[in-house]
Amino acid sequence: MSTKIPPWEKVLWKNQPYPDNYIPEGALESSLRKNPNFKPYTYWPLVHLSVAITQHLATIFIFLSVFVRLKDRSLDPRVLIFVSLGCFFVGYFVWEVLQYTQSFGGGSKHGTKRNERMKTLKSSILIFLALMSLSPVLRTLSAATSSDSIWALSACLFLLNILLADYGSSSSVAQARPERLTSVLSMNAAISSSVVLASRLSNDLAVFALIQFSVQSFTLFPMLRRRLQVPMQALLTFALSISSLILAVPLSSTITFLFLLVLLAITFLAPAVLVWAQKYKNEIRGPWDVAVPKVN
């Protein structure tokens, strides 16, 4: 018998001359990997990504300011209708331009495009008419509910909208993702919120104007927003933020200040916090992790 003890091996099938609780020096660390696919974030790309949230918040702020003006009758609903119609056409034009420039090599047929346009026109007229005929119903739908409940409900719904909204971007046509459940829920929350708010308005035309505006800003605008390229995004964010602030100034200086604070915090402070917090990242990986199968 040799006196030399064989080195410890990490196997179970062998009966080794070591006690069952033996761990060789450093055996634990050898298989452990810390933060294996760690890609540190840098500040400006994060700011870039947070811009989508800022835009969304600014849209909601604008919507709320418009609602307050409609409610105290300082804004004529007809003006709002014309403004949003104008925005619709501008937006549609931009959409078409983007479609044209981005699908340059796509080679889709002319006929199908025209068909699609006709479809869009038909459905927008349909929605326009449906909203118009439904607005008396929408106005009285939750009229019996007290105002306190309405404010609370709409605040909750907008919160839901903000939390679930799809902030990703799909700049190319090819990657147009299917709508996820959360983003659909988010859109519905925003529309429901504007429906309950509409019950506080005094006439049908105002209700129609508000709902139409909400449909544009919460369903159509995000679609357009996602398609925009980087420099346009920055410009759009700036424009939206400034207009939300300008609209809020005559209402209340506190609210304006609050809006400004939120927008700045989301755009500039939150990315900085995330970059700072990365030093606490401690992800442990080892052979026990579920492997990811690679299938060709």
Partner 1 sequence: MEPISIAMIADFFHPDVGGVEGHIYMLSANLIRMGHKVIVITHSRPPDRVGIRWLLPGLKVYYLPFVTIASGATLPNFFTFLPYLRTILIREHVHLIHAHASLSSLGHEGILHSHLMGVRTVFTDHSLFGFEDAASILTNKLLAGTLRNVDAVICVSHTGRENTVLRGELFEQSEDDPPRLVVSSNVYVIPNALVSKRFQPGLLQKSDTITIVVLSRLAYRKGIDLLVATAPRICAAFPNIRFLVGGDGPKLIDLLQMREKYLLQDRIELLGPIKHNDVRSVLIRGSIFMNTSLTESFGIAILEAACAGLYVVSTRVGGVPEILPEDMISFADPNEDDVFRAVSEAISLVSAGKHDPIKAHERVKRFYDWAQVAERTERVYHTVMKSEQRDLWDRITRTMRLGRYAGPIYTIILLVDCLFFLFLEWWMPREDMDFVTHHWNHRRFASATRGL
Among 3, 7, 10, 254, binds partner 1 (CB under 8 A): 10
Q: Which of residues 246-285 bind partner 1 (CB under 8 A)?
A: 283-284
Which one of 176-184, 187-195, 264-272, 288-296 is the stretch in contact with partner 1 (CB under 8 A)? 288-296
When the beta carbons of 27 and 126 are compared against partner 1, the nearer one is: 27
Residue 12 near partner 1 by CB under 8 A: yes
Are β-strands 33-34 and 284-285 bridged in parallel, bridged antiparallel, or unpaired? antiparallel
Among 23, 144, 174, 181, binds partner 1 (CB under 8 A): 23
What distance in Å separates the CA atoms of residue 33 and residue 44, rounded to the nearest whole number? 29
Which one of 7-15, 180-188, 194-202, 255-263 is the stretch in contact with partner 1 (CB under 8 A)? 7-15
What is the token pair recorded at 239?
């424009």
What distance in Å separates the CA atoms of residue 34 and residue 256, rounded to the nearest whole number? 45
Asked whether 201 and 210 are in contact (CB, 8 A), the reply is yes
Among 20, 175, 254, 279, binds partner 1 (CB under 8 A): 20
Instruction: Give the 3-state secondary structure of residue 284.
Output: strand
Instruction: Give the 3-state secondary structure of residue 291.
Output: coil
Angle subtended by helix axes 181-198 and 204-215, to nearest 10: 160
When the beta carbons of 39 and 109 are compared against partner 1, the nearer one is: 39
Residue 42: what residue type? T
Asked whether 62 and 263 are in contact (CB, 8 A), the reply is no
Among 11, 144, 174, 181, binds partner 1 (CB under 8 A): 11
Asked whether 213 and 31 are in contact (CB, 8 A), the reply is no
Among 21, 112, 175, 254, binds partner 1 (CB under 8 A): 21
| C-alpha dihedral, 230 to 234 to 240 to 245, nearest 10° | 160
When the beta carbons of 32 and 173 are compared against partner 1, the nearer one is: 32
Q: How far is the CB of 8 from partner 1 (least distance, A)?
A: 10
Residue 294 near partner 1 by CB under 8 A: yes
Residue 288 near partner 1 by CB under 8 A: yes
Q: How far is the CB of 266 from partner 1 (least distance, A)?
A: 25
Query: Among candidates 58, 57, 77, which has minimal Cα distance to 67?
Result: 77
Q: How far is the CB of 34 from partner 1 (least distance, A)?
A: 11
Interface residues toward partner 1, by CB under 8 A: 10-14, 20-21, 23, 27-28, 31-32, 283-284, 286-296
